[in-house]
Structure 1
Amino acid sequence: MEVKTALLTAGVSACSFRLLNTLMKYLPVPEPERRKVWMWRNTFTSLVHSSLTGTWAVLCFYQNPRMAEDLISSNSLFSHALISVSTGYFVYDLLDMALNQRLSQSWEMLLHHSMVISCFSLPLLTRLYVGFAVVSLLVEVNSVFLHTRQLLRLARGRDAAGSPPVAYRVTVLLNLGTFAVFRVCTLGWMTRWFSRQSGGLPRFTLMLGSLGLGLTTIMNTLLLYRLLRSDLLSNTRKADCDQ
């Protein structure tokens, strides 16, 4: 894919996700959370992106297994298009949060999205490190359950007695399970690969990759702590109090 085509694809992607978000205005929102309509629309749009790109990333390696052996120069039109579409989404979501959320609430995600856009710009424009970028998008498999969990919480995923329904409990387990596989293991593998290749990487790529991996590691650690505290530790404390 030529650079102009890749940029055009990213632009169309950003507009498409914005259109999807706008169309959400005409869909019913759970009654208890009408005051959080923006959050509902934003999370649902993020779920669509995760479902699309998570599946797409898996198919990239299924279609081209050799890409796993050469994450620097090996690529395909299919994988390059994935990077373009995902970059467009992150541009859209960054603008959506910047315009609709207070900075105190969104600064972590704004920082994350800015770093992702910066890192994805390299394979998008040079067609190098496409495989590495596709590996990073495997985390979107976990994001499917992460966003589903958030939607269930927005729809008051706990009944009046405070006990989580079956759908929420199953989603929590799938979220934590895929977190371990598609975030922890994937990030560990990416860090190991990057450290082994660091001696032969250009200085700019080394700096950008190190910042990206470092920030992602910190954010994933914080996210895991919050999930465990919210979904496991709080339930354990409640059970102890009920005894």
Structure 2
Amino acid sequence: MYDIVGTGTVLTSCVAFWLFNKFLDDNSEPVKVPEKYSGYTKCKWRNVMGSILHAVLVSMVGFYCVFRSPEYMSERVTTHTTLGEVNICITIGYLVYDASDLMRFQGVYSTWPILTHHCCLFLLGFGCIMYHQQLVAYALMGSMIETNSIFLHGRQLLLMYGFSKDSLIYKINNAFNIFTYITFRLIGGSIMLLVFLPADYDKMSSFWFVVFTLAILTLVVINMILFYRLIRSDFIAKDYRSSNIMLSPKQAEKTAIKET
């Protein structure tokens, strides 16, 4: 059953992220808003700021929980600690607020991969982990995957502030972004799907095994799609622009048509 600590943390987290975004909306100091995002599109900038805050918080707590309670990795179904549950509830509160904020300001069409990602995590976190207080280890592994979000959203922030993709700071962030994306999101997600879930099949109900399998599979596919977009934006499109820099606009247009 839902306990007061978990439910209270979800509500507190949701309100806290709303207050954080409201603070960013109402104040230009101490964080300077990029000029391009000082108008209506400011919602995109503060959404990235909130995502980075969430990623830093839950990834650090996730690693701490697993370090303090290594049984999370050996008994993934039944191991439960209060701090682990609180960390998950912080994420659930963030997902509720972030999903509503995205739909309100950016629409469903342009943000459907993120909204699908949020729905999967919400279903797992609120439905199984909070109610049954089981499979907390899987949620904490998901929290550790958020390490990549620090660099993934950091990339967006650098672009918002006008940093060139050729700048040193962007290249350093990009290197960490690619490495953590492959390590945490793609490899980590695949290990949960192909190794941990089959090993825990006998310890969990058939219903939640199917739900977790479908949800994690969906997340892995979405992460692969987003990874392709990332590679295309930072490498393929860059190489394409470089190869066509000496062409006239008409020649470049013909080349683009041939390559599509």
TM range (shorter): over 0.9
Unaligned runs of 5+ in 2: 247-260
The secondary structure found in structure 2 opposite 1:74 is: coil
Deviation at 1:107, TM superposition (A): 2.1
Matched with 2:168 is 166
CA-to-aligned-CA distance 1:57-92 (integer Å, 9 cap, x gap): 111111111111111101211111111111111111
Instruction: Spell out the pairing of 1:1-243 with structure 2 (5 A cutoff).
Output: 3-25=3-25, 26-27=27-28, 28-35=32-39, 36-121=41-126, 122-158=128-164, 164-191=166-193, 192-241=195-244
Matched with 2:257 is none
Identity of aligned residues (%): 24
Question: CA contact under 8 A between 1:139 and 1:186: conserved in structure 2?
Answer: yes
TM-score (norm 1): 0.92
Work out which of the two has the higher radius of gyration on C-alpha atoms and give 1 or 2: 2
CA-to-aligned-CA distance 1:121-148 (integer Å, 9 cap, x gap): 1111221101111111111000000010
Name the CA distance, whole Å, in 2 between partners of 1:109 and 1:99.
14
Deviation at 1:116, TM superposition (A): 0.8
Counterpart AA for 2:140: V
**What RMSD, in angstroms, separates the aligned Cα atoms of the two structures?**
1.7
Deviation at 1:37, TM superposition (A): 0.5
Name the CA distance, whole Å, in 2 between partners of 1:130 and 1:9.
16
Unaligned runs of 5+ in 1: none
The secondary structure found in structure 2 opposite 1:56 is: helix
Counterpart AA for 1:30: P
Question: CA contact under 8 A between 1:33 and 1:155: conserved in structure 2?
Answer: no
Name the CA distance, whole Å, in 1 between partners of 2:98 and 2:72.
28
Question: CA contact under 8 A between 1:146 and 1:175: conserved in structure 2?
Answer: yes
The secondary structure found in structure 2 opposite 1:171 is: helix
Deviation at 1:208, TM superposition (A): 1.3
Question: CA contact under 8 A between 1:138 and 1:186: conserved in structure 2?
Answer: no
Name the CA distance, whole Å, in 2 between partners of 1:177 and 1:111.
24
The secondary structure found in structure 1 opposite 2:148 is: helix
Deviation at 1:199, TM superposition (A): 4.5
Name the CA distance, whole Å, in 1 between partners of 2:53 and 2:223.
21
CA-to-aligned-CA distance 1:198-238 (integer Å, 9 cap, x gap): 35431220221022111101101101101111112222233
CA-to-aligned-CA distance 1:107-127 (integer Å, 9 cap, x gap): 222222111101001111221
CA-to-aligned-CA distance 1:30-59 (integer Å, 9 cap, x gap): 113324211000110010000101111111
Name the CA distance, whole Å, in 1 between partners of 2:161 and 2:53.
18
Query: How many residue pairs are counted as aligned between the two chains?
Result: 239
Higher-helix-fraction structure: 1
Name the CA distance, whole Å, in 2 between partners of 1:30 and 1:236.
27
The secondary structure found in structure 2 opposite 1:145 is: helix
Name the CA distance, whole Å, in 1 between partners of 2:72 and 2:206.
23
Counterpart AA for 1:14: C
Question: CA contact under 8 A between 1:58 and 1:138: conserved in structure 2?
Answer: yes
